A and B are shown apart, each in its own frame.
Chain A
Amino acid sequence: MDNHALGKGPDADILEARRLKGDGSPWRERFFQLSLWASLAVGVVFLGSLLTYVVVEAWPRLDLRIVTNFPDIIDPSQAGAQSAIMGTIWVIAFTALYCLPVGFLTAIYLEEYAEPDRWWNRAVEINIQNLAAVPSIVYGILGLGIISRGLGFGQTVLTASLTLSLLVLPTVIIAAREAIRAVPQSIREASLALGATQWQTIWRQVLPAAVPGMATGSILALSRAIGEAAPLLLLGGLTFITFNPTGPDSPFTVLPIQIFNWISQSRAEFVSLAAAAIVILLVILLAMNSLAIWLRNRYSHRW
Chain B
Amino acid sequence: MASPSEAPVSASGTSVPQVSYRDAPPLITPVFEVGGLSVFYGDHEAVRDVNMTIGGRQITAMIGPSGCGKSTVIRCFNRMNDLIPTARVAGKIRYHDEDLYGRDVDPIEVRRRIGMVFQKPNPFPKSIYDNIAYGPRVGGFKGDLDDLVEETLTHAALWDEVKDKLKTSALALSGGQQQRLCIARTIAVKPEVILMDEPCSALDPIATAKIEDLMEHLAQEFTIVVVTHNMQQAARVSHRTAFFTTDVGAEGERHGRLIEYDETARIFSNPSDQRTEDYITGRVG
Q: Report how far A277 CA is from B137 CA in the complex, Å.
A: 53
- Measured CB to CB, the closest approach of chain A to B161, in angstroms, equals 21
Q: Count A-side interface residues using an 8 Å CB cutoff.
A: 21
Q: Mark B101-124, 1 if CB is under 8 A from A, else 0.
A: 000000011011001101010111
Q: What sequence of 0s and 1s flags, for each residue 184-199 of chain A, a beta carbon within 8 Å of any chain B beta carbon?
A: 1011111111111100
Q: How far is the CB of B190 from chain A (nearest CB, A)?
A: 10
Partner of A189, one of B83, B112, B125, B135: B83
| A204 CB-CB contact with B under 8 Å | yes
Shortest distance between the CB of A181 and any CB in chain B (Å): 15
Cβ contact within 8 Å between A194 and B118: no
Q: Which residues of A contact B108 (CB under 8 A)?
A: 195-197
Q: Does any Cβ of B come within 8 Å of A122's Cβ?
A: no
| Contact A117 to B85, CB < 8 A, known contacts A186-B120, A189-B118, A195-B109 | yes
Decide if A209 is an interface residue (CB 8 Å cutoff). Answer: yes
A186: chain B residues within 8 A (beta carbon): 118, 120, 122
Interface-forming stretch among B87-95, B181-189, B223-231? Answer: B181-189
Residues of A251-275 whose CB lies within 8 A of B:
none
> A193's contact among B78, B109, B123, B125, by CB below 8 Å, is which?
B78
Among the listed A117, A204, A301, which residue makes an inter-chain contact with B134, where contact means beta carbons less than 8 Å apart? A204
B138 at interface by CB-CB < 8 Å: yes
**Alpha-carbon distance A124/B189, docked complex (angstroms):** 39
Residue A115 interfacial (CB < 8 Å) = yes
State in angstroms the CA–CA spacing of A205 and B170 once bound together: 14
Instruction: Tell me what chain A mostly uses at the interface: helix, strand, loop, or mixed.
Output: helix
Number of interface residues of B (CB under 8 A): 24
Q: Which of B66-91 contact A (CB under 8 A)?
A: 78, 80, 83, 85
Provide the residues of chain A in CB contact with B80, threshold 8 Å. 189, 192-193
Q: Is there contact, CB below 8 Å, between A195 and B118? A: no
Cα distance A186–B122 when bound, in Å?
Answer: 6
Let me know if A191 and B134 touch, CB within 8 A.
Answer: yes
Does chain B have a CB within 8 A of A52? no
Bound together, the chains give a CA A193 to CA B82 distance in angstroms of: 12
Q: How far is the CB of B273 from chain A (nearest CB, A)?
A: 33
Give the residues in chain B near A184, CB-CB below 8 Å: 122
CB distance from B262 to the nearest CB of A (A): 29
* 173-206 of chain B: CB within 8 A of chain A: 182, 185-186, 189
A191–B85 CA distance with the chains assembled, in angstroms: 18
List the A residue with the shortest CB-CB distance to B191: A195
Q: Residue B139 at the A interface, CB < 8 A? A: yes
Determine whether A200 belongs to the interface, using a CB cutoff of 8 Å to chain B: yes
A214 to B189, CA, bound (A): 32
The 0/1 profile, CB within 8 Å of A marked 1, for residues 124-158 of chain B is 11000000001100110000000000000000000
Known contacts A117-B85, A190-B118: does B125 contact A195 (CB below 8 Å)? no
How far in angstroms is the closest Cβ of chain A from B221? 18
Per-residue 0/1 for A32-64: is the Cβ within 8 Å of any B Cβ (1 yes, 0 no)?
000000000000000000000000000000000
Contact, CB under 8 Å: B78 / A194: no
Chain A neighbourhood of B123, CB < 8 A: 190
Q: Which of A200, A301, A303 contacts B138 (CB 8 A)?
A: A200
A15-31 Cβ-contact flags toward B at 8 Å (1 or 0): 00000000000000000
Question: Which residues of chain A (198-221) have a CB below 8 Å from chain B?
Answer: 200, 204-205, 209
In the complex, the 8 A-B pairs of residues with the closest C-beta atoms, listed nearest first: A195-B112, A194-B135, A186-B122, A193-B116, A196-B138, A190-B122, A195-B111, A200-B138
Interface residues of B (CB under 8 A from A): 78, 80, 83, 85, 108-109, 111-112, 115-116, 118, 120, 122-125, 134-135, 138-139, 182, 185-186, 189
* CB-defined A-B contacts under 8 Å, sample of 24: A115-B85, A187-B122, A187-B125, A189-B80, A189-B118, A190-B123, A190-B185, A191-B124, A191-B138, A192-B80, A193-B80, A193-B115, A193-B118, A193-B186, A194-B112, A194-B115, A194-B135, A195-B108, A195-B112, A196-B134, A197-B138, A200-B138, A204-B138, A301-B125
